[in-house]
A and B are shown apart, each in its own frame.
Chain A
Amino acid sequence: IAGITQAPTSQILAAGRRMTLRCTQDMRHNAMYWYRQDLGLGLRLIHYSNTAGTTGKGEVPDGYSVSRANTDDFPLTLASAVPSQTSVYFCASSEWMGQGYEQYFGPGTRLTVT
């Protein structure tokens, strides 16, 4: 592994189903993030984690949950998917969360909720 991986690459999901998007990084970065990207809008932060064991809410956290049991993994769970959660989801990481630290992104997961 080099960088950040996400799984699945794409998914079609029935409304009401539970889904976990996986994210793994091998850079030993402390901070990790989940964004969603919708057409015509900038990336919007869903949840973040400053370091293993801590998480925080971003701009659009409703309907999503995260956990950070270790440094490398940061899964995003949709408890009961709704069509408005159709989007492209990007996981990212940075060495720290402070000023000036570059964020590195995974390849994204394209999720369609029907």
Chain B
Amino acid sequence: RKEVEQDPGPFNVPEGATVAFNCTYSNSASQSFFWYRQDCRKEPKLLMSVYSSGNEDGRFTAQLNRASQYISLLIRDSKLSDSATYLCVVKDSNYQLIWGAGTKLIIKP
């Protein structure tokens, strides 16, 4: 089993819709969680950190479920510019990041 698993997609979603995807992790001792965004042939950029209580940043909501060992990302009122690959990242006890392979999102007009 991979340490961090994501559905590769692609998720094809009409503009304005709400989309959500999950990411599961295997190490129950993991303490820090992140969502990064990567545009085609570009470098990853931090989208948001994921806190135990959940957090929201505009149209984006991230949640952590420690019992089931997954994190989720919800995007409301999706825009064409949201098309990208979303990378789930978990920081292990050695402070190293373990990366999921990413979920590709395509927003269609």
Contact = CB atoms under 8 A, between A and B. Distances in A.
5 contacts: A40-B8, A48-B96, A90-B44, A97-B95, A99-B31
Contact of A98 (B45, B95, B101): B95
Contacts, number: 45
Contacts of A108: 41-43
A97 B42 CA distance: 23
Contacts of B100: 42
Contacts of A105: 43-45
Interface in A69-114: 90, 97-100, 102-103, 105-108
Interface residues of A, number: 21
B98 interface: yes
A84 B31 CA distance: 33
Contact of A42 (B42, B96, B102): B102
B20 interface: no
A2 interface: no
Contact of A99 (B32, B41, B45, B102): B32
Given A42-B98, A43-B99, A44-B99, 7 more contacts: A41-B101, A42-B99, A98-B95, A100-B32, A102-B34, A102-B46, A105-B44
A90 B43 contact: yes
Interface residues of B, number: 22
Interface string B55-79: 0000000000000000000000000
Nearest to B91: A99
B3 to A, nearest CB: 9
A35 B102 CA distance: 15
B17 interface: no
B4 interface: yes
A45 interface: yes
A35 B36 CA distance: 15
Contacts of A61: none
B15 to A, nearest CB: 27
A40 B101 contact: yes
